[in-house]
Amino acid sequence: DGGITQSPKYLFRKEGQNVTLSCEQNLNHDAMYWYRQDPGQGLRLIYYSQIVNDFQKGDIAEGYSVSREKKESFPLTVTSAQKNPTAFYLCASSTPGVGRHYGYTFGSGTRLTVV
Amino acid sequence: SQQGEEDPQALSIQEGENATMNCSYKTSINNLQWYRQNSGRGLVHLILIRSNEREKHSGRLRVTLDTSKKSSSLLITASRAADTASYFCATRANNDMRFGAGTRLTVKP
């Protein structure tokens, strides 16, 4: 079955440490997105990528980095520069351009906690 | 920045009743979408309505869109306990989507 897989489900980060969240999709979608969700709040866009080897900053990109070397993969690195990284991180994918009237498919999320 | 704002923030009803959630947004859109999120899980796409459509149905869901008022509503008819979740509206303007803070729906059996 096609879908998006996020791993790990839970992640603990020590102060000053970089961590990478994995997002893999087998839906053949061109566009992929990373969102951050804080308790009781909506989703805020971190980064998005419309095509391989290209990505754009979202509203809260500071302290995060991404890469898009393969169509299927869009990993997110939470760097030590992100001062408040504890949150629920969601990855999504969709068909851009002429497919802009399609919905997003989401992964099941990674819960990151700073210890 | 968040585009959509849902109202109410929380809604509690009895099983069998209808649930109505509203969404307001600020800028021109290509379409508006509604998503559902069960606690601690990812979002699931429910329904999409294009900017040139006024109403759309899918099973027990009915969505309306008023572009002149920049608002939408989601109606869930004959609610079930399994409908308990958070519901988000999302607006797509160009290459990305903006989500509201959601309405937390509780359906009591």
Q: Say which amino acid occupies A45.
A: L
Q: Distance between CA atoms of B15 and A49, rounded to whole angstroms?
A: 41
Q: Does A90 touch chain B (CB under 8 A)?
A: yes
Smallest Cβ–Cβ distance between A58 and the set B40, B92, B96 belongs to B96
| Mean pLDDT of all residues in A80-96 | 90
Please list, residue by residue across A5-40, b when 16 or more beta carbons sit within 10 angstroms of its beta carbon and e when fewer do.
Answer: ebeeeebebeeeeebebbbbbeeebbbbbbbbbeee
Q: Does B27 touch chain A (CB under 8 A)?
A: no
Phi then psi dihedrals of residue B7, to 5 deg: -145, 130
In Å, how far is A45's CA from the nearest CA of chain B?
A: 8
Q: Does B28 touch chain A (CB under 8 A)?
A: no
What is the signed CA dihedral for B5, B7, B10, B14, rounded to 10 degrees? -140
Residue B8 has pLDDT above 60, yes or no: yes
Task: Give the residue, B94 or A14, on which the prediction is more confident.
Answer: A14
What digits encode the pLDDT tens for the residues A48-85? 999 999 999 999 999 999 999 999 999 999 999 888 99
Name residues 66-95 of chain B within 8 A of A (Cβ): 88, 90, 92, 95
State the count of interchain CB pairs (< 8 A) between A and B.
65
| Mean pLDDT of all residues in B49-68 | 96
Task: Give the residue, B28 or B92, on which the prediction is more confident.
Answer: B28
Residues 6+ apart with CB under 8 A from B68: none
**pLDDT mean across residues, chain B:** 92
Which residues of chain A make contact with B88, given a CB cutoff of 8 A? 42-43
Residue A93 has pLDDT above 70, yes or no: yes
Find, among B102, B88, B70, the residue nearest to B34 by Cα: B88
- Give the per-residue pLDDT at B98: 86
- Give the per-residue pLDDT at A15: 85
